[in-house]
Amino acid sequence: MTVPSSIFRLFSVLLVVIGSTLAACAMPMEAPVAGDGPASENQPLRIVTTSNIVADWARQIGGEHVEVTTLLPTGGDPHTFQPGAQDVARVADADLVLMVGMGLEVGWLDQLLEQARADQAIVIEMEQFIDPLPWLPMEGAGDVHGDEEMHEDDHGHDDDADEDHADGHDDDTDEDHEDSEGHAADDHHEHGSEDPHFWFDPLRVRAAVTGLAQVMGTVDPEHAATYADRAARYGLELDELHAWITEQVSMLPPEHRVLVTSHDSFQYFAQLYGFEVVGTIIPSVGTEMEVGAGMLAQLVDTIRDRGVNAIFTETTVMTDKLAAGIAQEAGVAVVVQLYTGSLGGPDSGAETYLDMMRHNVDTIVQALSTQ
């Protein structure tokens, strides 16, 4: 993947903020100075994010001093998103562009940055602030290629989300991965070897928020102290969230802490809170892979063998039809939906990152308590 020039400015920001040398950056770079951000103290720091989850963190840090725009509409799939002309304009006007990284936006963000000629924007990959987990294909993934009848017509593509995107959404919104049989993901949606779904680990989120606040303070030194203070206070809320999740899942016996989800997005959560992801409908951290009959049959066998009593679908991954068929075949009584790649809309109970996590944990604990 060709790294845009704006990515290199990220590393210079981190050199100034953290005071350390990143091995990934081998060429000399010019660090941002006062004036790289808002044109005046009355103008907010203009931030564009690829995810409304990251946008929520930026708002928590920046408060009234930031103007945050999200490229993806609420409920949009970050793996398969295609930007429009309005997105080019938004990125072109940004002071900071925040991406998750680790292959989540591969296939569309680099092209968008080039189209927007966003050479002056500082592009921040949130992965720089955390210790990512490697993504390891689940056992059996890609062993069998399925027939087209098993592939949902609307898989990974929400028509309603597309309509929302066309209408505008100012407020809300490596290595090629191939399976063992050579079935490659779409050329425009290649994924890296690291798992991008780190937001399911509140402790890693705290590290990301701290790093982001430091970068924002470097670009906008006028409000650096405010950003640091707000990030610290939000960090305490993240600590409280972690403690609450730990308490909630402790009510589940270890043998009940098994997850079957739409795609492989819960490894961070599983590692931190003692769960095991025993199967996924799409055996990948991406959502573009076609699902074969053999894969689904293997998943049904796993669900039966492990005594799984709940399947968790995801709001941004269109696998509801497949999940219903799997549940019927495997004798699973509970199929419930989680928020994964996007926050929820108004009145969803998942409008913020903290709300989303609490909603998901409540849903998981309630579903698995019925076993």
User: Residue 74's pLDDT is what?
Assistant: 84
Q: 320-330 and 293-306 are packed helices; what angle lies between their axes, rounded to 10 degrees?
A: 50
User: Residue 25's pLDDT is what?
Assistant: 35
User: Residue 142's pLDDT is what?
Assistant: 37
Please report the domains of the chain, with CATH numbers, ordered by start residue: 5-32+43-179+188-236 (3.40.50.1980), 247-368 (3.40.50.1980)
User: Residue 37's pLDDT is what?
Assistant: 64
User: Residue 164's pLDDT is what?
Assistant: 40
User: Residue 334's pLDDT is what?
Assistant: 86
- pLDDT, block means (10 residues), the chain with 371 residues: 43 40 33 52 91 98 97 80 87 94 85 76 94 76 36 39 39 37 35 85 99 98 98 99 99 95 91 95 60 83 93 83 90 91 94 98 94 61
pLDDT in tens, 75-93: 777 767 888 889 998 999 9
User: Residue 277's pLDDT is what?
Assistant: 94
User: Residue 83's pLDDT is what?
Assistant: 85
Residues 6+ apart with CB under 8 A from 328: none
User: Residue 137's pLDDT is what?
Assistant: 67
DSSP calls for 117-169: T-TTSEEEEGGGGS-PPBP-PPTTTTSSPPPGGGS-TTTT--HHHHHHHHH--
User: Residue 191's pLDDT is what?
Assistant: 47
pLDDT in tens, 302-321: 999 999 999 999 987 777 78
Q: Return d(Cα 216, Cα 94) in angstroms, integer.
A: 13
User: Residue 61's pLDDT is what?
Assistant: 99
Q: Return d(Cα 339, Cα 341) in angstroms, integer.
A: 7
User: Residue 196's pLDDT is what?
Assistant: 94
* Matching residue, tokens 């006007």: 93
User: Residue 241's pLDDT is what?
Assistant: 99
Helix (H) or strand (E) holding 86: helix 85-92
Q: Return d(Cα 18, Cα 25) in angstroms, integer.
A: 14
User: Residue 159's pLDDT is what?
Assistant: 40
User: Residue 332's pLDDT is what?
Assistant: 93
Q: Could you give the C-alpha distances from 49 to 87, 95, 125, 328, in angstroms and in order?
A: 11, 11, 10, 39
